[in-house]
Amino acid sequence: MSIDGQLPPKTRLLRAAAGLLAKSGGAAVSTRQITQLAGVTAPTLYHHFGDKEGLFDAVVAAGFEEYVARERDFAPSGEPLEDIRRMWDQHVHFGLKQPELYLVMFGNIRPESRPAVVADAEALMEEMLNKAAVAGQLAVPPKEAARSILAANVGVTLMLITEKAPERNLELSAMTRDAMIFAVSTEQARDSGPDSGKSPVVVAAIALNAALQASHSDQLSSSELKLFLEWLHRISTSSTS
Amino acid sequence: MSIDGQLPPKTRLLRAAAGLLAKSGGAAVSTRQITQLAGVTAPTLYHHFGDKEGLFDAVVAAGFEEYVARERDFAPSGEPLEDIRRMWDQHVHFGLKQPELYLVMFGNIRPESRPAVVADAEALMEEMLNKAAVAGQLAVPPKEAARSILAANVGVTLMLITEKAPERNLELSAMTRDAMIFAVSTEQARDSGPDSGKSPVVVAAIALNAALQASHSDQLSSSELKLFLEWLHRISTSSTS
DNA sequence: CACTTCATATAGCGTTGCTATAGGTGCTAG
DNA sequence: CTAGCACCTATAGCAACGCTATATGAAGTG
């Protein structure tokens, strides 16, 4: 059960901590557990890492290296904004694959103390956004864009982590991702139209009715569609308000 | 320094915990600090609240009540989307004004365990988005929109909390907020290129869906309605390939 | 060999969340 | 008035925590 080999104690501590952190299911991991698994006593830990957080930072640094490395390998596509998209997805993927490690990195939030790893992640994203800016695809300063996107990215990942695996809906991520990228990009050609009005059930039903007839949606079979339209007609001719 | 008056110990514990939590600057607050300030001994705490987390949950519940109350008071403006905007801002404001309380509510993340308060906040936002959906202003199902917006909202707030107060840039919040709201709304793509945005069918279906759930129309029997809603759901979640 | 330096161990401090047990307090029943 | 009962609170202390003062061993250098 212990981590032996003739590896130096420092390495054994790192592996023990990473292993326990990965298996613990988010529960707290004590220094005693770590030192015991590493086959080492307490002072050794504090000699090498200062304190518990120092150890965790070291573990996180290793995890982040892996994260960044995968990031950079994939980087060189022609489209900077497409790279950002992939960066977002890998961020989420990393968080869901190693939730405990991710939470040590991004979930350990305290006021006025920003973990170094956040700044690193921000720098990485900013660097990529810079390319987009050079290409004239950015409508916002890269720094602000990076912070904004990263904030949303972390928020989404944290929310997905709190969900039980089977229920996870990655659509949430994709949608938020595209919203953020679209918002900072220059491709928007918005034109706020004169909208309005309230549409109660009847109006909505009428709109749907018209829209359905005009488009060839294949979400419903023809027999289903027929019955659907009949009900729709019933609703839209009723006088609810 | 102690909380006296002749208030019952349960109340004193709540106030002591809330007070310490607010002042502690994010540092951990111990049960001994709390019980001492409340002028009470340990077993009293555990008799009333079960454990430390139970106490904090109670404090959070109170804080959330305040949060929701302020929310609802401001709610009734004409424009649902404007209400969402204000909701976002109040969320951020609440987080920055009481960071410690906010972190207990939203920052205490663990895998597979979603705090009840998150679900409540999500429900509150979904409720508001429903109004927007009824008005035909939503291009996405309210549930998904709520989760997405809330995720980004929490992410931004957490990021702002980690910054030291003087450096806080609320532009980050405003920008992310508008990006998310814009993304779920129908105001985009009104003049519309080929593949920009959802088709009218989808928008109408979403609006009708929300409207039907809001007003109990009796034009359809319950079994018919069930099937009808199922089809509607199929349409409104279809991608605009 | 003496001396320094680095690395690990022994033992224990102070604090944490929590609890087994017992004692008070106020109520209703006889 | 007293007996019993349910509720609430206190005394005292356990096990686990992060961490450290101090000591011992090993390795290299003059």
Give B28-43 pLDDT, tens digit per residue: 899 999 999 999 999 9
Residue B149 has pLDDT above 90, yes or no: yes
CB A220: neighbour CB atoms within 10 A?
A: 18
The predicted structure's pLDDT at residue A199: 34
Give the residue, A62 or A237, on which the prediction is more confident: A62
Give the residue, A191 or B99, on which the prediction is more confident: B99
Mean pLDDT over B90-96 rounds to: 91
* Average pLDDT over all residues of chain A: 78
A44: nearest nucleotide, CA–C1' criterion: C8
Give the residue, A51 or B101, on which the prediction is more confident: A51
The predicted structure's pLDDT at residue A119: 86
Give the residue, B75 or B151, on which the prediction is more confident: B151
Mean pLDDT over A17-40 rounds to: 89
User: pTM for the full model?
Assistant: 0.76
Question: pLDDT by residue (tens digit) across B188-234?
Answer: 544 433 444 455 555 566 656 656 665 555 666 666 666 766 676 66
* Amino acid residing at B210: A
- A234-239: long-range contacts, CB 8 A cutoff, minimum separation 24: A234/B219, A234/B220, A235/A201, A235/A202, A235/A205, A235/B212, A235/B217, A235/B219, A235/B220, A236/A202, A236/A205, A236/A206, A236/A209, A238/A202, A238/B217, A238/B219, A239/A202
**DSSP secondary-structure letter at A116?**
H
Dist CA B229 CA A205 (whole Å): 12
Mean pLDDT over B114-128 rounds to: 84
pLDDT band at B236 (very low <50, low <70, confident <90, very high): low
Picking from B111, B129, B156, B96, the residue whose alpha carbon sits closest to that of residue B213 is B129
At CA A136, angle to CA A134 and CA A141, rounded to 5?
75
Preferred mutation among B147, B180, B202, B203 to probe A, highest tally of A CBs within 10 A: B147
The predicted structure's pLDDT at residue A112: 65
Question: Quick one: fold of A67-184?
Answer: Tetracycline Repressor; domain 2 (1.10.357)
- CATH code matching the domain that covers B53-236, chosen among 1.10.357.10, 1.10.10.1100, 3.40.50.2020, 3.30.70.920: 1.10.357.10
Through-space separation of residue B108 CA and nucleotide C25 C1' in angstroms? 39
Picking from A15, A27, A107, the residue whose alpha carbon sits closest to that of residue A55 is A15
Residue B59 has pLDDT above 70, yes or no: yes
The residue assigned the tokens 């960044």 is A68
Residue B48 in tokens = 């009333």
* Partners of residue A190 in chain B, C-beta under 8 Å: 182, 187-188
A47: nearest nucleotide, CA–C1' criterion: C7
Dist CA A193 CA B25 (whole Å): 47
Cβ distance B175 to A193 less than 8 Å, yes or no, reads no
The predicted structure's pLDDT at residue B211: 61
The predicted structure's pLDDT at residue A180: 94
Cβ distance B118 to A162 less than 8 Å, yes or no, reads yes
Question: pLDDT by residue (tens digit) across A109-138?
Answer: 776 666 777 888 899 898 888 888 877 788
* Average pLDDT over all residues of chain B: 79
A140 touches B at CB < 8 Å: yes
Contact between residue A235 and residue A202 where contact means Cβ atoms under 8 Å apart? yes
Residue B179 in tokens = 């990006």
A50 touches B at CB < 8 Å: no
* Partners of residue B164 in chain A, C-beta under 8 Å: 112
Residues with Cβ within 8 Å of B19's Cβ and at least 6 positions away in sequence, in order, are: B3, B37
The predicted structure's pLDDT at residue A163: 85
Residue A213 in tokens = 């007839």
Question: pLDDT by residue (tens digit) across A196-211?
Answer: 332 345 545 555 655 5
Dist CA A152 CA B176 (whole Å): 8
* Amino acid residing at A183: A
Residue B103 has pLDDT above 60, yes or no: yes
Cβ distance A140 to B175 less than 8 Å, yes or no, reads yes
Contact between residue B152 and residue A100 where contact means Cβ atoms under 8 Å apart? no
Based on the number of CB atoms within 10 Å of its own CB, is B210 exposed (0-12), middle (13-18) or buried (19 or more)?
buried
Picking from A95, A161, A118, the residue whose alpha carbon sits closest to that of residue B161 is A118
| Strand D contacted by B10 CB (< 7 A) | yes
Give the residue, B65 or B54, on which the prediction is more confident: B54
Residue B2 has pLDDT above 60, yes or no: no
pLDDT band at A233 (very low <50, low <70, confident <90, very high): low
**DSSP secondary-structure letter at A85?**
H
B13: nearest nucleotide, CA–C1' criterion: D9
pLDDT band at B120 (very low <50, low <70, confident <90, very high): confident
pLDDT band at B170 (very low <50, low <70, confident <90, very high): very high
| Strand C contacted by B30 CB (< 7 A) | yes
Minimal CA separation from A35 to chain B, in Å: 24
Cβ distance A162 to B136 less than 8 Å, yes or no, reads no
pLDDT band at B46 (very low <50, low <70, confident <90, very high): very high
**DSSP secondary-structure letter at A6?**
T
Least confident window among A126-140, A171-185, B36-50, B82-96:
A126-140
Based on the number of CB atoms within 10 Å of its own CB, is A171 exposed (0-12), middle (13-18) or buried (19 or more)?
middle
Dist CA A176 CA A178 (whole Å): 6
User: How much of chain A, in percent, has pLDDT values that exceed 70?
Assistant: 71
Residue A190 has pLDDT above 60, yes or no: no
pLDDT band at B62 (very low <50, low <70, confident <90, very high): confident
